[in-house]
């Protein structure tokens, strides 16, 4: 994966969390941060860039009112695309000017991830296969007592995704469900609901998860229950967990 960061648009304190999240998706082979590094305001970025092994890309502001940084990031992105070395790209910015770049990456068959603030314009979010809000990256555990925020909304989103899915013998893979949730809701993140994983989100929203002893993970809708098949570890319903404990 190549990660392209607009240093004018994202605060330096977020870079570590953003990179850690992206490295859970794919190997980050390239991480570039674009900015006018001659400006005193960029001093806060320097330690982050050095500590995380990112590459700072210098771009002076030669004309007032023109964002040369956007242009430099877009040109480099196209060069990396045509180099053919990357299967995925991440654009870290809340700027809708990168919408066309994200679309171009998709047209070339690359996986595209967007990372920005929650207020990022919807066209850019929709242009990405998956958009992650920076505000959600710091949520790393369930709310106290296992409660989940917006459980009714979660059920609605899951049901809508399952209506689109074409299950094989009534079974839909967990990864397929995840893809559908992100496609239908570009800003979707399990962490915004207080969960760490999709399985955790489904269970705490009231769905029953059951391990079926295969190596494949899938989801099946049976009445009002979702069944997870082939979990690598036992998955219990809330009642079963209490009994097991």
We report the CATH number of the domain holding residue 32 as 3.40.50.1010
Residues in CB range of 59: below 8 A, 6 or more apart: 34, 35, 36, 68, 69, 72
Same domain (yes/no): 113, 23: yes
Q: Provide the percentage of residues in the chain whose pLDDT is more than 70.
A: 69
Q: Which domain holds residue 232?
A: 144-244
Which residue has tokens 């989801």?
A: 219
For the ranges 48-57, 76-85, 157-166, 234-243, the maximum mean pLDDT occurs at 76-85
Query: What's 240's DSSP letter?
Result: H
User: What is the mean predicted confidence (pLDDT) over 235-242?
Assistant: 37
How far is 28 from 88, CA to CA, in rounded Å?
9
* Pick from 75-89, 110-124, 146-160, 194-208: least confident: 146-160
- Same domain for 7 and 91, yes or no, is yes
Looking at the structure, do residues 39 and 118 belong to the same domain, yes or no? yes
> How much is the pLDDT for 93?
93
Judging by DSSP bridges, how do beta strands 30-35 and 88-92 pair with one another? unpaired
- The CA distance from 74 to 15, in Å, is 19
pLDDT, average across residues 18-33: 89
Between 136 and 35, residue with greater pLDDT = 35
Based on the fold, state whether residues 41 and 59 are members of the same structural domain: yes
Predicted confidence at residue 136, as pLDDT, reads 77
73 in the same domain as 171: no
Last residue of a domain, one of 103, 136, 169: 136
d(CA 61, CA 56): 16
Domain end, chosen from 136, 169, 199, is at: 136
Residue 142: band (very low, low, confident or very high) from pLDDT cuts 50, 70, 90: very low
Do 130 and 228 lie in one domain? The reply is: no
Same-domain pairing of 89 and 73: yes
Counting the structural domains of the chain, the total is: 2
Q: Domain ends where: 136, 171, 196?
A: 136
Residue with the bigger pLDDT between 188 and 36: it is 36
Judge if 107 and 179 occupy the same domain.
Answer: no
What is the arithmetic mean of pLDDT over 25-53? 85
Tokens describing residue 86: 């990357």
With b meaning 16 or more CB within 10 Å and e meaning fewer, what string describes 139-165?
Answer: beebeeeeebeeeeebbebbeebbeeb
200 and 235 part of one domain: yes
Q: Helix H segments across 108-210?
A: 122-127, 151-164, 174-184, 198-204
What pLDDT is attached to residue 218? 54
Q: Over 50: is that where the pLDDT of 223 sits? A: no
One-character DSSP codes across 35-51: E-TTSGGGHHHHHHHHH
Q: Are 95 and 7 in contact (CB under 8 A)?
A: no
Same domain, 123 and 10: yes
Q: Does one domain contain both 129 and 154?
A: no
Read off the pLDDT band of 121 (50, 70, 90).
very high
User: What average pLDDT does range 186-195 have in this prediction?
Assistant: 69
Over residues 125-151, the mean pLDDT reads 65
Q: Which residue has the tokens 């009002």?
A: 224
Q: Are residues 123 and 218 in the same domain?
A: no
Question: What is the arithmetic mean of pLDDT over 44-72?
Answer: 79
| pLDDT band (50, 70, 90) for residue 207 | low
Instruction: Write down the pLDDT at residue 43.
Output: 80
CA distance linking residue 81 with residue 203, whole number of Å: 39
């Amino acid at each position: 994966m190549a990660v392209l960061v607009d240093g004018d648009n994202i605060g330096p304190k977020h870079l570590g969390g953003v990179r850690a999240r992206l490295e859970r998706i794919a190997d980050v082979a390239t991480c570039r941060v674009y900015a006018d590094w001659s400006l005193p305001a960029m001093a806060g970025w320097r330690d982050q860039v050095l500590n995380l092994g990112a590459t700072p890309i210098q771009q002076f502001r030669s004309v007032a009112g023109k964002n040369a940084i956007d242009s430099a990031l877009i040109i480099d992105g196209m060069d990396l695309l045509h180099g053919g070395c990357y299967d995925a790209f991440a654009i870290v910015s809340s700027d809708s000017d990168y919408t066309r770049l994200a679309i171009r990456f998709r047209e070339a068959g690359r996986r595209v991830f967007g990372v920005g603030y929650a207020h990022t314009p919807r066209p850019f979010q929709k242009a990405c296969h998956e958009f992650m809000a920076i505000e959600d990256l710091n949520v790393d555990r369930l709310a106290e007592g296992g409660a989940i925020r917006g459980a009714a909304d979660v059920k609605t989103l899951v049901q809508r995704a399952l209506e689109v899915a074409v299950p094989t013998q009534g079974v839909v893979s967990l990864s397929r469900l995840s893809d559908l949730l992100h496609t239908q809701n570009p800003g979707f993140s399990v962490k915004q609901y207080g969960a760490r994983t999709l399985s955790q989100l489904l269970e705490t929203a009231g769905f029953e998860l059951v391990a079926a002893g295969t190596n494949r993970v899938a989801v099946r809708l049976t009445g009002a229950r979702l069944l997870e098949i082939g979990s690598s570890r036992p998955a219990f319903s809330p009642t079963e967990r209490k009994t097991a404990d």
